[in-house]
Structure 1
Amino acid sequence: DGFQGGEAGEDEATRKARISRLAQNGKEHHLTAEEFEEHLRNEREKVAAAVDRSDSPLARGIAGLSASETPALIGASRGHIDCDVDVDALAYWNDPQGDRDRNLQSAFVDGAVPGTDAPTKYISFQPDTGGWNNIRMSMENMFIFAASLGRTLVLPPPQPLYLLRADKKEKLRGFADFYPLQTEAFRRKVKVISMAEFLEREGSRLAIPAEDLEAQKKRAEGCVHMKKSDVFCDDLYAHLITVGYVPELGGKSCAIFDEDKFHGKVMTGANEAKVKEFCGERKSFFVTSEMQDSFLIHFRTSDKGYRMVNHFYGFLLFTDPVVDNYYKRFVRDFLHYRDSIYCAAGKIVKAVQEEGQSTGIVIDNEGGGGYSSLHVRRGDLQYKKVKISAQQWYDNTKELWEPGEILYIATDERNKTFFDPIKEHHPVRFLDDYWELAGLGDLDPNYMGMLDTIVAARGRNFAGTYFSTFTGFICRMRGYYGMSSKTCYYGLEAYKYTMHTWHQGPLHIFSHEWPTGWIGIDGDVVPSQDVF
Structure 2
Amino acid sequence: MKKLQDSAKNAAPVKTVVPPAPKKEPAVKKATAKKPMGKIPSIAEQQAKPQYKVADLPTDPEDWHEKPVARGVAGRPLDETPALVGAKRAQVKCDINVDSLAYWNDPAGKRDLDFKSPFGLSKEQYISFTPDPGGWNNVRMSMEILFVLAAITNRTLVLPPKEPLYLLNKDTAARHRGFADFFPLDNPNFPVKIMNMQDFLNLPAQQALLDEKGSTERQSILNAADHCDRRKGSSASCVPIYEFLAEVGHNPELSSVSDCVIFDADALQDPESPSTEGKALAETYCGEKRRVTYWNHEDHSQHDHLHLPAQIKQFRLLTHFYNMLYFSDPKVGNYFKRFVRDYLHYNDVIYCAAGKIVKAVQKEAMALGFSLDAEGGGGYSSMHVRRGDLQYKKVKIPAKEWYDNTKEVWQDKEILYLATDERNKTFFDDLAVHYEVRFLDDYWDLAGLSGLDPNYMGMIDTIVASRARAFAGTWFSTFSGYINRLRGYHGMSMKDSWYSFLPKKTAVHEWEIVKHSAYAFEWPDGWVGIDSDTFPERDKF
Same-fold call, TM cutoff 0.5: yes
Q: CA RMSD in A?
A: 1.4
Report the secondary structure of 1:184's partner residue.
coil
1:92 aligns to what? 103
Amino acid at match of 1:80: Q
The equivalent position to 2:285 in structure 1, one of 262, 273, 278, is: 278
After superposition, residues 380-395 of structure 1 pair within 5 angstroms as: 380-395=389-404
Report the secondary structure of 2:69's partner residue.
helix
The equivalent position to 2:275 in structure 1, one of 268, 282, 296, is: 268
1:310 matches 2:319 = yes
- For 2:261 and 2:292, locate their aligned partners in 1 and report how far apart those are by CA, in whole Å: 6
**For each residue in 1:450-488, what CA deviation from the matched residue of structure 2 results, as whole angstroms up to 9, or x when unmatched?**
000000000000000000000000000000000001111
2:224 aligns to what? 219
Report the secondary structure of 2:525's partner residue.
helix
Indicate if the aligned counterparts of 1:150 and 1:190 stay in contact, CA closer than 8 A: yes
Indicate if the aligned counterparts of 1:466 and 1:490 stay in contact, CA closer than 8 A: yes
**For each residue in 1:226-279, what CA deviation from the matched residue of structure 2 results, as whole angstroms up to 9, or x when unmatched?**
122232212211111111110111122111111111122722223202112211
- For 2:270 and 2:214, locate their aligned partners in 1 and report how far apart those are by CA, in whole Å: 40
1:237 matches 2:242 = yes
1:367 aligns to what? 376
1:18 aligns to what? none
- For 1:279 and 1:93, locate their aligned partners in 2 and report how far apart those are by CA, in whole Å: 29
The equivalent position to 2:207 in structure 1, one of 204, 211, 216, is: 204
- For 1:408 and 1:350, locate their aligned partners in 2 and report how far apart those are by CA, in whole Å: 12
1:295 matches 2:317 = no
2:466 aligns to what? 457
Shift of 1:56: 3.5
Q: Which runs of 4+ in 1 moved over 4 A?
A: none
Report the secondary structure of 1:255's partner residue.
strand
- For 1:362 and 1:506, locate their aligned partners in 2 and report how far apart those are by CA, in whole Å: 39
1:248 matches 2:241 = no
The equivalent position to 2:173 in structure 1, one of 169, 178, 188, is: 169
Amino acid at match of 1:155: L
Indicate if the aligned counterparts of 2:221 and 2:244 stay in contact, CA closer than 8 A: no
Shift of 1:414: 0.5
**Higher deviation after alignment, 342-351 or 258-267:** 258-267
Report the secondary structure of 1:123's partner residue.
strand
Report the secondary structure of 1:220's partner residue.
coil
1:52 aligns to what? none
1:39 aligns to what? none
Q: Which runs of 5+ in 2 are unaligned?
A: 1-65
- For 1:440 and 1:374, locate their aligned partners in 2 and report how far apart those are by CA, in whole Å: 21
**Higher deviation after alignment, 495-504 or 123-132:** 495-504
1:109 aligns to what? 120
Shift of 1:507: 4.8
Indicate if the aligned counterparts of 1:401 and 1:461 stay in contact, CA closer than 8 A: yes
- For 1:267 and 1:293, locate their aligned partners in 2 and report how far apart those are by CA, in whole Å: 19
Report the secondary structure of 2:383's partner residue.
strand
Distance change (3 Å), C-alpha of 1:205 and 1:261: farther
Equivalenced residues, count? 470
Indicate if the aligned counterparts of 1:271 and 1:319 stay in contact, CA closer than 8 A: yes
Give the TM-score taking structure 2 as reference length.
0.85
- For 1:472 and 1:348, locate their aligned partners in 2 and report how far apart those are by CA, in whole Å: 21
Indicate if the aligned counterparts of 2:285 and 2:513 stay in contact, CA closer than 8 A: no
**Higher deviation after alignment, 211-220 or 72-81:** 211-220
1:67 matches 2:78 = yes
Higher relative contact order (CA closer than 8 Å, sequence separation 6+): 2
Please identify which structure carries the higher helix content: 1
Amino acid at match of 2:179: F
Indicate if the aligned counterparts of 1:57 and 1:366 stay in contact, CA closer than 8 A: no
2:158 aligns to what? 154
2:479 aligns to what? 470
Report the secondary structure of 2:384's partner residue.
strand
1:129 matches 2:133 = yes
Amino acid at match of 1:87: V
After superposition, residues 378-527 of structure 1 pair within 5 angstroms as: 378-503=387-512, 505-527=514-536
**Higher deviation after alignment, 502-511 or 467-476:** 502-511
Distance change (3 Å), C-alpha of 1:426 and 1:99: same
- For 2:219 and 2:240, locate their aligned partners in 1 and report how far apart those are by CA, in whole Å: 13
Give the TM-score taking structure 1 as reference length.
0.86
Shift of 1:110: 1.0
Shift of 1:438: 0.3
Shift of 1:506: 3.3
**For each residue in 1:205-236, what CA deviation from the matched residue of structure 2 results, as whole angstroms up to 9, or x when unmatched?**
54452513222111111111112223221221
**For each residue in 1:126-160, what CA deviation from the matched residue of structure 2 results, as whole angstroms up to 9, or x when unmatched?**
10000000000000000011111111100110001
**For each residue in 1:6-62, what CA deviation from the matched residue of structure 2 results, as whole angstroms up to 9, or x when unmatched?**
xxxxxxxxxxxxxxxxxxxxxxxxxxxxxxxxxxxxxxxxxxxxxxxxx94411101
Shift of 1:504: 6.9
- For 1:515 and 1:307, locate their aligned partners in 2 and report how far apart those are by CA, in whole Å: 23
2:184 aligns to what? 180
- For 1:79 and 1:239, locate their aligned partners in 2 and report how far apart those are by CA, in whole Å: 40
Amino acid at match of 2:89: R
2:16 aligns to what? none
**For each residue in 1:174-231, what CA deviation from the matched residue of structure 2 results, as whole angstroms up to 9, or x when unmatched?**
1010001011101xx1111111221123432544525132221111111111122232
